């Protein structure tokens, strides 16, 4: 981890270990851990946590892992390489280039509510009928040319 966040120097300095008892008590509901209160917790970067929770249970020995969200830890997207040795971030994009915020804006414009509306839109997506709309996306061809579908 670096001393300063790569995209937002005002973002909090990352910390590997947290030993602040009050903060741990605030973040970890005792009922979830059999009323056990750890003396320290390991702090994991937001996108690394997303990538790990997708890659490690996937069953793949190696994979490209793409994390896209609003602005977790000031980062909007991370491309990582997952192997048995762990995850390595290859490229990250700053929160000012957030596709998640764009998606959120669309959800709000659809009338689904405030900043929590993107979850509603994602939930509704599973009920959609992909055959209802024909989208004219370009299709790649051998040699680098493309055609409309």
Per-residue pLDDT of the chain (149 residues; tens, 9 = 90+): 345 455 555 555 556 788 888 888 888 887 877 888 888 888 888 888 999 999 999 999 999 999 988 777 788 899 999 999 999 999 999 888 888 788 788 888 888 877 677 777 778 778 888 777 776 767 777 776 666 55
Query: Helices 117-125 and 99-109: crossing angle, nearest 10°?
Result: 80
pLDDT (0 to 100) of residue 51: 92
- Extract long-range pairs of 79-87: CB within 8 Å, 24+ residues apart: 80/47, 80/48, 80/51, 80/55, 82/51, 82/55, 82/56, 82/58, 87/48, 87/51, 87/52, 87/55
Contact 95, 7 (CB under 8 A): yes
Residue 40 tokens read as 């320290």
What is the structure's pLDDT at 11? Answer: 52
What's the predicted TM-score (pTM) here? 0.62
Q: Environment class of residue 116 by beta-carbon count within 10 Å: exposed (0-12), middle (13-18) or buried (19+)?
A: exposed
Say how far apart CA 131 and CA 149 lie, in whole Å: 14
């Amino acid at each position: 981890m670096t001393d300063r966040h790569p995209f937002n120097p005002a973002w909090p300095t990352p910390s590997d270990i947290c030993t602040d008892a009050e903060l741990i008590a605030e973040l970890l509901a005792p009922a979830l851990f059999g009323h056990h209160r750890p003396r320290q917790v390991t702090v994991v970067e937001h996108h690394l946590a997303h990538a790990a929770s997708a890659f490690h249970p996937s069953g793949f020995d190696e994979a490209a892992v793409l994390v896209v969200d609003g602005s977790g830890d000031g980062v909007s997207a991370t491309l990582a390489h997952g192997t048995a040795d762990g995850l390595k971030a290859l490229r990250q994009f700053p929160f000012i280039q957030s596709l998640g915020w764009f998606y959120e804006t669309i959800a709000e414009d659809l009338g689904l509510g405030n900043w929590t509306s993107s979850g509603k839109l994602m939930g509704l997506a599973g009920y959609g009928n992909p055959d209802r709309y024909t989208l004219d996306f370009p299709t790649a061809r051998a040699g680098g040319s493309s055609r409309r579908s």
